[in-house]
């Protein structure tokens, strides 16, 4: 039983045990009475009253419970309530109320059981800046493999082949033009890579921000759709005209008498001879290629990120992990759409007039060169794309982290 003395509880408060013995009430913050946590000191009830329910607290050996005392605010130091006295004519004070609440189990914390927070969204403006910077750095590193891939795809079987393979292509290029020959056409691709990556990531973040769930998560299917939209946008706005110019530049340099003296001169000559339409040759193939390309990459990347982060959508990713996931996404896109890349390259070359349409180009390749021709340049493209996607995603993520510190958009 709780002590009911009238002298301000001079004796320590006690509780009855299972065998009738009494135990002293534990101090605040200590465990006692069968592993019960006491958060506040018990105060004695008014004279003539007993504890809640008319009996003392039983000690329990089941789940530990915490004991709290819900009582009115403490009175002033000189008040009768503080001295343990009752005012004449005043109603007796209410009894102390014991509130039993589950205490945390050993080794468990409430924070660990709390649901994960909402995923942070990336502002499209940050995505545009980070994507443009990533695209520019990446193309300077990987352009030689792009050059070799394009050369092999243009080396049609209908003519006597100039190259016997990747190594022979590199050897002949270095012998004829030096090491810098592997960077011929870089300017046109560099001018296109920066806006291409900017449009791609900006559009992806814009679409994904609209399609995320209440917790800010993006599932794999929606990631695929957002990637498809990003690929189509970059194909129409940037990729088709820039890729057309790049292919014409490389093809022109392979001719006995090159006629383009530089990027701007080449663009001017192409528009003068063929009009603006000359920079949009192979648009259908480019849209199909870029749309499927980015759909595959972002689908794989979103799936791997969701798997890695688990229940915590804001779990930071190490750049090495990001690069590995990017390489896997790049490899998947290579095997998924290399035939479209071959058709696109043929439609944008100087001999594109041989084909009536994108579908006719595919038919002519199959008829005269066989199915294997659709996978020409796969090996050099595989190496370039894996490195390309890994570098782009690493730089993009790191730049976004930096922008989040200096550019507050929340």
DSSP string, 122-145: PPHHHHHHHHHHHHHHHHHHHHHH
197 is written with which tokens? 């990556």
Rg (CA), the chain: 37
Contact residues for 120 (Cβ-Cβ < 8 A; gap 6+): 216, 314, 404, 410
What angle do helix axes 358-369 and 283-309 make, rounded to 10 degrees? Answer: 90
Number of H-type helices and E-type strands within the chain: 11, 6
Phi-psi map region of 334: left, alpha, beta (phi>0 left; psi -120 to 50 alpha): alpha
105-113: list long-range contacts, CB under 8 Å, 24+ apart: 105/64
Q: Are 352 and 281 in contact (CB under 8 A)?
A: yes
Taking the C-alpha atoms of residue 393 and residue 319, their distance in angstroms, rounded to an integer, is 9
Question: Three-class SS of residue 69?
Answer: strand
Grouped pLDDT means (10 residues each) for the chain, 410 residues: 44 46 50 46 49 47 44 51 52 54 45 54 91 89 81 69 85 89 81 89 95 89 95 91 79 79 81 84 84 94 94 90 95 87 79 82 88 81 84 94 85
Q: Are 166 and 182 in contact (CB under 8 A)?
A: no
The alpha carbon of 265 is separated from its chain's Cα centroid by a whole number of angstroms, namely 41
Q: Are 66 and 39 in contact (CB under 8 A)?
A: yes
- Model confidence pTM above 0.75: no
Question: Three-class SS of residue 17?
Answer: coil
Q: Which residue is associated with the tokens 């100087």?
A: 350
Taking the C-alpha atoms of residue 283 and residue 243, their distance in angstroms, rounded to an integer, is 10
The 10s digit of each residue's pLDDT in 259-276 is: 887 778 888 888 888 888
The 10s digit of each residue's pLDDT in 127-170 is: 999 999 999 888 888 788 778 877 887 776 546 778 888 888 89
Question: Three-class SS of residue 326?
Answer: helix
Q: Are 400 and 122 in contact (CB under 8 A)?
A: yes
Helices (H), 237-357: 240-254, 263-274, 283-309, 319-348
The alpha carbon of 293 is separated from its chain's Cα centroid by a whole number of angstroms, namely 18
């Amino acid at each position: 039983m709780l002590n009911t003395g009238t002298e301000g509880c001079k004796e320590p408060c006690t509780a009855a045990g299972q065998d009738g013995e009494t135990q002293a009430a534990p101090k605040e913050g200590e465990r006692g009475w069968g592993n019960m946590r006491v958060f506040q000191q018990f105060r004695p009830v008014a004279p003539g009253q007993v504890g809640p329910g008319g009996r003392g607290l039983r000690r329990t050996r089941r789940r530990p419970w915490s004991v709290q005392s819900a009582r009115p605010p403490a009175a002033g130091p000189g008040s009768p309530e503080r001295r343990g006295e009752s005012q004449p004519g005043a109603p007796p004070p209410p009894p102390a109320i014991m509130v039993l609440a589950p205490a945390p189990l050993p080794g468990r914390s409430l924070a660990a059981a709390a649901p994960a927070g909402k995923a942070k969204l990336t502002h499209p403006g940050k995505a545009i800046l980070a994507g443009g910077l990533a695209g520019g750095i990446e193309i300077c590193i990987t352009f030689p493999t792009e050059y070799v891939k394009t050369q092999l795809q243009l080396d049609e079987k209908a003519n006597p082949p100039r190259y016997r393979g990747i190594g022979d292509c590199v050897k002949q290029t270095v012998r004829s033009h030096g090491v810098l020959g592997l960077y011929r056409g870089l300017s046109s691709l560099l001018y296109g890579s920066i806006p291409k990556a900017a449009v791609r990531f900006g559009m992806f973040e814009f679409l994904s921000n609209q399609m995320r769930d209440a917790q800010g998560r993006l599932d794999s299917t929606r990631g695929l759709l957002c990637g498809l939209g990003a690929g189509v946008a970059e194909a129409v706005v940037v990729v088709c005209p820039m890729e057309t110019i790049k292919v014409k530049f490389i093809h022109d340099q392979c001719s006995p008498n090159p006629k383009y003296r530089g990027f701007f001169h080449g663009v001017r000559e192409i528009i003068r001879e063929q009009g603006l339409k000359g920079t949009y040759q192979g648009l259908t193939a480019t849209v199909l290629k870029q749309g499927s390309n980015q759909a595959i990459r972002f689908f794989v990347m979103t799936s791997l990120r969701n798997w890695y982060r688990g229940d915590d959508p804001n779990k930071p990713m190490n750049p090495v992990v990001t690069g590995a996931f990017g390489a896997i996404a790049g490899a998947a896109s290579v095997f998924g759409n290399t035939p479209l890349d071959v058709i696109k390259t043929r439609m944008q070359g100087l001999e594109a007039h041989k084909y009536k349409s994108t579908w006719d180009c595919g038919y002519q390749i199959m008829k005269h060169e066989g199915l294997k021709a659709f996978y020409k340049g796969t090996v050099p493209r595989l190496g370039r794309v894996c490195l390309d996607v890994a570098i782009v995603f690493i730089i993009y993520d790191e730049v976004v982290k930096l922008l989040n510190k200096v550019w507050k958009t929340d």
